[in-house]
A and B are shown apart, each in its own frame.
Chain A
Amino acid sequence: QEPLTASMLAAAPLKEQKQLLGERLYPLIQMLHPVVAGKITGMLLEIDNSELLHMLESPESLHAKVEEAVAVLQAHQAKE
């Protein structure tokens, strides 16, 4: 599967941009946290697209963001 580029993303309408990013991010996140992959992906998709593209290219930044999101999700669930 060829990498998702900024120009590919720019060519798509906003709704599809998030879907494209989600479809790429989800399998990567699922490897880290299979149980909450859907929730974590949904949280990260609210981030700016340029940062999401960067995360797709840089596993370290993706990993850091995912761990951050897991902590936020756990705090949110503890509050409920």
Chain B
Amino acid sequence: SNGTNVNWPPEFCPGVPWKGLQNIDP
């Protein structure tokens, strides 16, 4: 795919669990 992932970047909102963890879980 041409890499334009519309869910990127995984936005951070204070007080809301950050959604980007699945990208970095070892």
> What is the interface of chain A, defined by CB distance below 8 A to chain B?
14-15, 18-19, 22-23, 25-27, 38-43, 45-46, 73, 76, 79-80
Instruction: Please indicate the chain A residues that have their CB under 8 angstroms from the CB of B8 in the complex.
Output: 76
Partner of B24, one of A26, A27, A46, A76: A46
Interface SS majority for chain B: loop
Instruction: Please indicate the chain B residues that have their CB under 8 angstroms from the CB of A38 in the complex.
Output: 11-13
- Which residues of B in the span 1-26 have a Cβ within 8 Å of any Cβ on A? 2, 4, 6, 8-15, 17-21, 23-25
Contact A41 B4 (CB under 8 A): no
**Besides A15-B21, A26-B12, A46-B9, 12 other A-B contacts (C-beta < 8 A):** A18-B18, A22-B18, A38-B12, A39-B11, A40-B9, A42-B9, A42-B11, A46-B24, A76-B8, A76-B9, A79-B4, A80-B6
